[in-house]
């Protein structure tokens, strides 16, 4: 489920506390790609580096295609501006979701008899 399902409070708090993103994923309010973008935003708000900002820009172009530039500008306003609330509403209603394939990884999976290499290791933790 998409950005539209994330309240302003959740979006703002996720910038500080990444466990909120984990909980949003667990409750299926967002998908992993949306989670990745939120994580990057949080990373930027904690460490304002050009490199992370570029990563966010790349993600916007990757996920929103020709609207990538516009999406990045709207997201930048959310992470940079004082008026986060309106910025979040504007971003999340424009870019309501990132397409994600919810298919089961095991769809079309057929188990077969095959050569299996088993490697077993056992350790003792020195405490």
Residue 28 interacting with another protein (CB under 8 A) = yes
**Which span (9-17, 21-29, 46-54, 56-64) binds another protein, by CB under 8 A?**
21-29
Query: CA 59 to CA 79: how far, in whole Å?
Result: 15
Residue ranges in 56-115 that form contacts with another protein under rule CB under 8 A: 83, 86, 89-90, 93-94, 96-97, 99, 101-106, 108-115
Task: State both tokens at 91.
Answer: 């971003």
Residue 52 interacting with another protein (CB under 8 A) = no
Query: CA 56 to CA 50: how far, in whole Å?
Result: 10
DSSP assignment, residue 35? H
Pick from 9, 17, 32, 58 the residue near another protein by CB under 8 A.
32
Count the residues of the shown chain that bind another protein, applying the rule CB under 8 A.
49
Torsion sign over Cα 7, 103, 95, 80:
positive
């Amino acid at each position: 489920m998409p950005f539209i399902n994330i309240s302003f409070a959740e979006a703002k708090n996720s910038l500080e506390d990444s466990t909120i993103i984990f909980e949003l994923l667990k409750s299926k309010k967002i998908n992993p790609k949306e989670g990745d973008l939120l994580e990057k935003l949080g990373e930027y708000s904690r460490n304002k580096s050009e490199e992370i900002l570029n990563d966010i820009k790349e993600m916007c172009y990757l996920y929103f295609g020709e609207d990538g530039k516009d999406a990045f500008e709207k997201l930048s306003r959310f992470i940079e501006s004082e008026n986060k609330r309106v910025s979040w509403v504007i971003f999340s209603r424009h870019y309501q979701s990132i397409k994600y394939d919810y298919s089961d990884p095991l769809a079309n999976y057929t188990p077969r008899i095959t050569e299996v290499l088993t490697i077993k290791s056992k350790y003792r933790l020195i405490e």
